[in-house]
Structure 1
Amino acid sequence: MKDVARRAGVSESAVSFALNGRPGVSAATRERVLRVAQQLGWRPSAAARALSGEGSATVGLVLARPARTLGVESFFLGLVSGVQEVLAARGLGLLFQVVEDVAAECAVHRRWWAEHRVDGLLVVDPRERDPRPALLAELGLPAVLVGAPGRDAAPPGAPVTVLRSDDAAAMASVVEHLCALGHRRIVHVAGPPELAHTRARIASLRTEAAARDLPEVASLTTDYSDAQGAEVTRRLLASAHPPTALVYDNDVMAVAGLAVAAARGVPVPAGLSVVAWEDSVLCRTAHPPLTALARDPAAFGRVAAGLLLPLLDGAAPADVPAALPRLLVRRSTGRAYGAP
């Protein structure tokens, strides 16, 4: 401020009024101060803004997953790129951290709030009996709960917008496709059991199985890793009555399962059909290319970040349905062995 004041020929208080958009200086003085500040490369201090109650110009995102499972997943990279695209256009930064579990995530949220590090949060991977929405309500932090099954995921009065994902309908579309191909022994290789979308997919599979009289249908939970995806696939294919179709909760496990089938001499799709959740370059370049549920993760991130901006401006929270993933049928699914 001293440098700007000296070069512009005004007082430091005039510089403060001009840079903060406050009355007290003429239009000509304000213009001169802003021009000099730009010439000197001045930018507002995030720390100073936070201490003065003007906000940090930063949005927080914490992923509560083991780091080893994130390095091979393309979905979150796409999600973050979409989020960053929207935030950058608004001049907002993204503060990102990976932790081991949801308790550690809550601790990070509390610390960021206490230190005025963020103006709002993007919260992913909703859980059964999730402690985070109540914490957000307590702290009064604006947030978007990404991928929640319904509006009731956020406490009444909390500044939390819900971006809903209909995982039940997506699973129903997969089952419909496989049943049309004559599959009756379908196994779902699911993600972590505590995640709300895992439970929604499992429940939907059971509902569809009951409605279609499919007694040999099951879900097995994993940590999303290729190692567990491969281990479950080996166990299933070695069983007395192996499934004719496998539905994997991410692309990494699906490709690992495809490799296990090839190693055991099980042809895909003649002997086993494979479906992946979340289409990616892995699904498109696998041999054979994988039938997959397609959802643009970058677009999903842009929607989530776009919903947070009105909350930061004081708007009321909303309940917004996300676009339903499309099932892209490729060569990894075919008629069930022995089906008419």
Structure 2
Amino acid sequence: MDNLTPGTTAAPRFAIAVQSKNGPHGTDPFFEELLTGMEEALDQHGATVFLRQFSSYQDELDAYPLWAESGAVDAVVVVDSQDEDSRAGLCVKLGLPVVVLGGPAGDGVSLVDVDNSGAMEMAVDFLADLGHKTIGRVSGPAHLHHTKSRSLAFEQALAARDVTGLSAEGNYSAESGAARTRDMLSGAKRPTAIVYDNSIMAVAGLEAARRLGLKVPEEVSLLAWDDGPHCRLADPPLSVVSLDVYELGRIVAAVLMQTYSGALQTVVHVPTARIVQRGSTSGWPSAGSDSKLADPALRPRP
């Protein structure tokens, strides 16, 4: 995805470093849309951005001194923050301008803050308002900062609405989305709705539910995180927690340019996402007088 020739370009060049263990970033619609927004905004300044994937946290750490020393990269975007994360601090020490996407903030670091907690609370409220009393969640990797924020908000929102929750950890891949959905829907206490931490897992979860013989949304409602063509083209189309990822990319690009130009510790708060309801969610019980569907414990096993 990139072709670095150190020291040969005068135009600003920015990098987003990701780790393969944290998800299929190269094919994730979120990152595709994010990069599209960034590229179009940066093109106005003659700047470019590339996505570089690393196999481990240490490999990513090792790249920053090389980038700073060679001048091959002029600023970086740090994503998928985690506990005891030293990447942004290292970039500051190296004199490499850095923008953190999603938080947390740090000294000498610019921040594009995404309200993951508010969006998760909105998701639970949406499903609870539809009458769902048992809500499942397939999360991203548990060690990530934004996963922790969503998990805490999920538990707090469940308690506030007196709703039962079930959680399972995925890794943003289709395989994990399908596997965690099968586990939840085959358990003794099945959720009547599931929210997924990304759209790839949600689309796979839809197919897994169908293979179990369950109707969506009549027997289980599904809610994806982030929108995309594959959500709109699914059958039924997936309801989503929708953040304008293209516009997010443009915002990140603007903060990158400001930080690269010397405006360190620029902080921008992105507006909270919204719910777009489509065919994968409905009120519960959605089958009217059919008590077997109204109580998941009484439904026939797939």
TM-score, normalisation: structure 1: 0.79
Which digits, 9 at most, give the CA deviation of each residue in 1:191-211, with x for residues without a partner? 111111111111001011122
Which digits, 9 at most, give the CA deviation of each residue in 1:91-118, with x for residues without a partner? 1232431112222111111210121211
Structure holding more helix per residue: 1
Contact 1:251 1:276 in 2 (8 A): yes
Of all paired residues, the percent bearing the same amino acid is 33
Determine if the alignment matches structure 1 residue 168 to structure 2 residue 125: no
After superposition, where does 1:112-191 map in structure 2 within 5 Å? Answer: 112-148=67-103, 150=104, 153-154=105-106, 156=107, 158=108, 160-191=109-140
* SS, match of residue 287 in structure 1: coil
Contact 2:19 2:56 in 1 (8 A): yes
| C-alpha spacing 1:93/1:79, structure 2 compared with 1 (3 Å) | same
* SS, match of residue 289 in structure 1: coil
- For structure 2, the 5+ residue unaligned runs are 286-293, 296-302
Whole-Å Cα distance in 2 between the matches of residues 80 and 103 of structure 1?
A: 24
Show the counterpart of 2:43.
Answer: 88
- Choose between structure 1 and 2 for higher RCO, CA contacts under 8 A separated by at least 6 residues: 2
| C-alpha spacing 1:139/1:186, structure 2 compared with 1 (3 Å) | same
Contact 2:6 2:71 in 1 (8 A): no
* SS, match of residue 320 in structure 1: strand
Whole-Å Cα distance in 2 between the matches of residues 130 and 334 of structure 1?
A: 40
| C-alpha spacing 1:67/1:275, structure 2 compared with 1 (3 Å) | closer
Of 194, 204, 209 in structure 1, the residue corresponding to residue 153 of structure 2 is 204
Show the counterpart of 1:222.
Answer: 170
Show the counterpart of 2:7.
Answer: 47
Show the counterpart of 1:194.
Answer: 143
| C-alpha spacing 1:254/1:96, structure 2 compared with 1 (3 Å) | closer
- Amino acid in the other structure paired with 1:58: R
Determine if the alignment matches structure 1 residue 254 to structure 2 residue 214: no
After superposition, where does 1:272-291 map in structure 2 within 5 Å? Answer: 272-291=220-239
- Amino acid in the other structure paired with 1:105: E
Larger Rg: 1
Contact 2:169 2:180 in 1 (8 A): no
| C-alpha spacing 1:46/1:112, structure 2 compared with 1 (3 Å) | closer
Contact 1:56 1:116 in 2 (8 A): no
* SS, match of residue 37 in structure 2: helix
| C-alpha spacing 1:67/1:162, structure 2 compared with 1 (3 Å) | closer
TM-score, normalisation: structure 2: 0.88
Superposition CA RMSD, Å: 2.0
Which digits, 9 at most, give the CA deviation of each residue in 1:67-94, with x for residues without a partner? 9823542111111111111222111232
Whole-Å Cα distance in 2 between the matches of residues 308 and 253 of structure 1?
A: 30
- For structure 1, the 5+ residue unaligned runs are 1-44, 50-54
Of 25, 33, 44 in structure 2, the residue corresponding to residue 70 of structure 1 is 25
Show the counterpart of 2:298.
Answer: none
Whole-Å Cα distance in 2 between the matches of residues 202 and 67 of structure 1?
A: 16
Whole-Å Cα distance in 2 between the matches of residues 77 and 277 of structure 1?
A: 15
Whole-Å Cα distance in 2 between the matches of residues 247 and 313 of structure 1?
A: 40
Whole-Å Cα distance in 1 between the matches of residues 22 and 272 of structure 2?
A: 28
